């Protein structure tokens, strides 16, 4: 399996989720199953079925997170030296050439992407258009409303 890039912050977020799943969620669902079993007939016990479904989800998520962490290539953006180029982990300030609107994005891994927080997935169209470019370059992004052109104002590694 190939490595997947993730920022240090994203790695910590996944580790925290894994810890919560193992120490809080898993024991809670085990207790719920035990309580449902104590009620008797399992064939018509909705609480038991719901708890078993929840247990399956939790165990699946634990495996998924452990798998991602095992192949993660953790990148600390503050330690990058890409010579001003846009790379994974870089924070990029852009200006829309048509409207003049300014936006700032950090290019992150799939699990940490959140557009509301300015975190864009490395495989998103905008991130793919920005990778390798430098301050002053123009990136063309295929958007649902047509091609958008963004000028790269600043590139930082924070």
Instruction: Note the pLDDT of residue 143.
Output: 82
pTM reported for the whole predicted model: 0.82
Tokens in use for 2? Answer: 């190939």
Residues 6+ apart with CB under 8 A from 27: none
Distances (CA, A) of 101 to 68, 87, 145, 150: 36, 23, 16, 9
Instruction: Note the pLDDT of residue 1.
Output: 60
- The answer to whether residues 114 and 107 touch, using CB atoms and an 8 Å cutoff, is no
Instruction: Note the pLDDT of residue 130.
Output: 95
Instruction: Note the pLDDT of residue 80.
Output: 85
Low-confidence ranges of the chain (pLDDT < 50): none
Instruction: Note the pLDDT of residue 116.
Output: 95
């Amino acid at each position: 399996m190939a490595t997947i890039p993730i920022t240090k912050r994203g790695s910590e977020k996944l580790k925290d989720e894994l810890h919560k799943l193992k120490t809080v969620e898993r024991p809670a669902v085990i207790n719920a199953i035990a309580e449902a079993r104590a009620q008797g007939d399992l064939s018509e016990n909705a609480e038991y079925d719901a708890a078993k479904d929840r247990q399956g989800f939790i165990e699946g998520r634990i495996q998924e997170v452990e798998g991602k962490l095992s192949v993660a290539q953790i990148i600390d953006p503050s330690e990058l030296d890409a010579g001003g180029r846009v790379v994974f982990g870089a924070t990029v300030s852009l200006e829309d050439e048509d409207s003049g609107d300014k936006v700032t994005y950090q290019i992150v891994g799939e699990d940490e992407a959140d557009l509301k927080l300015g975190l864009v997935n490395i495989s998103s169209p905008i991130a793919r258009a920005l990778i390798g470019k430098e301050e002053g370059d123009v990136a063309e992004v295929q958007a649902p409303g047509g091609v958008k052109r963004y000028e790269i104002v600043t590139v930082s590694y924070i």
